[in-house]
Amino acid sequence: MKPNPLALAFFALLPVFACGSAWSQLAGEPYIHDPSTVIQSDGKYYTFGTGGGGLISDDGYTWHSGAVRPGGGVAPDVIHIGDRYYVAYAVGGGGMSGGHASKVKVMWNKTLDPKSPDFQFHDVGVVASSNGVEDCDAIDPAFLYVKGHLWLSYGTYFGFIRMVELDPRTGKRLAGNKPVNVAIDMEATDLLYRDGWYYLLGTHGTCCDGANSTYNIRVGRSRNPTGPYVDNIGIPLLRGGGKLVAAASGRHIGLGHFGLLNLGDGVELFSMHYEADLDRGGRSVLDIRPLLWKDGWPVGGDHFEPGTYEIQSERSGGALELAVDFVRMNNGRRRGWGPPTGPVTPIPNQTLAQDSEKWPAGNIAVDINDYMVRPHQLWTITPVENAGGYPGAPYFKIAIAGTDRALAAAADGEVVAVPDFTGAPEQLWRIDELIDGTYRIMPKAVPNSAAPAALTAIGASTPTLTQFDPKSDKAKWSFHKP
């Protein structure tokens, strides 16, 4: 058999693809374009992309190729209804200077695991289309299943974004259903429903131009799934409106193709691709970041930024700290309160050496107390390499700044600071930003316990690990620069 020249080229270049570049948020090889909603099937996370195939992850943090999606085409979406995973994708359209005849196709499968004996895609057929002349280019489909109705949006910058309704039992277009124009100036739409509002998100700006892509994600909302959708200042999406959800930042350019990953308990994430991850050679990559909600609008959050912080309880406002003797700082008190009579010189912060002189050598209990910017209250939070993660993020080490003394879950379900970080599961922390901007903090494991537990201020001054209560401020935390 003659060697396939493409195969030779592919394997010759494989080391280039396989070698890591600078640190990026998702681990593995999250290379994809136009990712679908991230969805779980048989214990794994899946997302599909343009061209076919897609990515799989065991934990939502480390991603590899391997998802299987036949049919080719562009910008798929996926939804789980009953025992079916419906997948929609488009073929034919998305051209520039023409090329707008397109078909949105739907198929379904019982599982997304290609190794499962149940893995078999069943074709439903075409559910929407554009003839290449009308004011629409039927690409970039997106599903929404709410109150028994299955909606599908589609379209791109050529003409209108349209909405149709499908039968959730079959995936087919409802008989007699007509498309409704709902927006312009966007592609890669996505649909959300929350508190009586339907949200239409779309990607504005320019695609497919690497580090010069102006892609950004915007939103409008309506009480009705077929609109009219308006943004936060009342500009209709049919007139180019849209409130910003997320745009370029740092080393990530060209955000597009929003997808919701709702983990429950007030933790919502959104998936997207960057047209260019500058740390990965400007390639198109998947990312997953927190989604916040403010005044009824979705707001794209950012990855947790490693650094040194006060960890503040939302219950009492106190700071997580080592339960050690308070060491007084020299100076600070004077007789009287009049103006200085001599030079004014700054007083340095208390040093770690001053504060830690009498700390015990072994485990130290942790409590919550008034924040005084003291070393025993400052925690350096850093991602831990090769320790896995959870959707969108790695596990973190939380250690007293300037030391290796690490926060850890204890065998009795309490919280301690161990003298040295070893990377044991009870010393690895998951930090989830909640939709209100506060955080849930959970250890990867609690010794001798299988129940998930979250850091909780059970008393104004007492932290513990217990089942997370999303309705209570006791289990919510915020991070503040010293």
Partner 1 sequence: MFNEGLKMKTFRKFAVMGISALATPLLLAAQAPGFRHAPPDAAAAAAPRTLAPYFTPATSRSKAPDADGFLQRWMLLEPIVKPNRTNIVFTGTYVRSAFNAPYFPDQFTVLPHNGDKVTVGGQELAWHALDSTGFNVKLFRFAYGLNKPTYGVLFWAVTIVNSPREMKNVRLAAGSNSASMWWLNGEDVADLFDDRRMVMDDVVSRPLTLNKGRNVLRGAVINGPGMSDFCVRFVDANENPIKDVTLSLP
Distance set, CA 432 to CA 212, 291, 310, 466 (Å): 31, 10, 16, 16
CA dihedral 435, 474, 371, 310 (to 10 degrees): -40
28 counts as binding partner 1 under rule CB under 8 A:
no
Q: Assess whether 414 carries a catalytic annotation.
A: no
Which one of residues 28, 40, 44, 51 is an interface residue with partner 1 (CB under 8 A)? Answer: 51
Tokens of 182: 């709902």
User: Could you tell me the smallest distance in angstroms from the CB atom of residue 278 to partner 1?
Assistant: 15
Phi, psi of 29 (to 5 degrees): -125, 80
Single out the segment in contact with partner 1 by CB under 8 A; choices: 126-134, 245-253, 313-321, 372-380: 126-134
With CB under 8 A as the contact rule, the residue among 40, 59, 132, 384 that binds partner 1 is 132
Nearer to partner 1, 100 or 430 (CB): 100
How long a stretch of residues is the chain?
482
Query: Which residue in the set 96, 373, 411, 460 belongs to the binding site for partner 1 (CB under 8 A)?
Result: 96
The catalytically annotated residue of 34, 277, 310, 432 is 34
In the numeric block, which tokens belong to residue 242?
């849209």
For partner 1, which is the closer residue by CB, 216 or 427? 216
What's the order of all strands across the beta sheet hosting 187-194? 187-194, 197-204, 216-222, 243-246
Question: Could you say whether residue 98 binds partner 1 (CB under 8 A)?
Answer: yes
* Residue 111 binding partner 1, by CB under 8 A: no
Does position 1 bind partner 1 by CB under 8 A?
no
Question: Which amino acid type is present at position 248?
Answer: A
* Site membership for partner 1, residue 296 (CB under 8 A): no
> Per the omega criterion (within 30 degrees of 0), is the bond before 228 cis?
yes
261 counts as binding partner 1 under rule CB under 8 A: no
Position 327 contacts partner 1 (CB under 8 A): no
Using the minimum distance from each CB to partner 1, give the nearer residue, 242 or 301: 242
Binding mask 62-81 for partner 1 (x = CB under 8 A): ---x--x-xxxxx-------
Range in contact with partner 1 (rule: CB under 8 A) among 6-14, 402-410, 448-456, 460-468 = 6-14
Nearer CB in complex with partner 1: 9/460: 9
User: Residue 291 CB, nearest distance to partner 1 (Å)?
Assistant: 24
Please report whether residue 101 would count as binding partner 1 according to CB under 8 A: yes
Q: How far is the CB of 76 from partner 1 (least distance, A)?
A: 11
User: Pick the catalytic residue: 29, 165, 187, 287?
Assistant: 187
Site size toward partner 1 (CB under 8 A) is: 62
- Which residue, 294, 269, 290, 297, is CA-closest to 37? 269
Residue 103 vs residues 49, 141, 242, 313, 437: alpha-carbon distances, Å: 17, 10, 26, 52, 40
CB of 232 to partner 1, least distance (A): 14
Active site (annotated) includes residue 34: yes
Per-residue tokens: 369: 């107390």
Burial class (CB in 10 A: 0-12, 13-18, 19+), 350: middle
212: contact with partner 1 by CB under 8 A: yes
157 binds partner 1 (CB under 8 A): yes
Selected from 91, 323, 329, 445, the binder of partner 1 by CB under 8 A is 91
Q: Which stretch binds partner 1 (CB under 8 A): 77-85, 131-139, 301-309, 368-376?
A: 131-139
Nearer to partner 1, 210 or 470 (CB): 210
Question: Under the criterion CB under 8 A, does residue 430 sit at the interface with partner 1?
Answer: no
The position carrying tokens 């690497």 is 210
Report in angstroms the alpha-carbon separations of 192 from 145, 200, 220, 236, 268: 9, 7, 10, 17, 12
Query: How far apart are the C-alpha atoms of 69 and 65, rounded to whole Å?
Result: 11
Residues 6+ apart with CB under 8 A from 264: none
By CB under 8 A, name the one of 28, 228, 240, 470 that touches partner 1.
240
The residues that are catalytic are 34, 187
Instruction: Name the residues that contact partner 1, by CB under 8 A.
Output: 4, 6-7, 9-10, 13-14, 16-17, 31, 33, 50-53, 65, 68, 70-74, 91-103, 107, 119-121, 123, 131-134, 157-159, 184-185, 204, 206, 208-210, 212, 214, 235, 239-241, 283-284
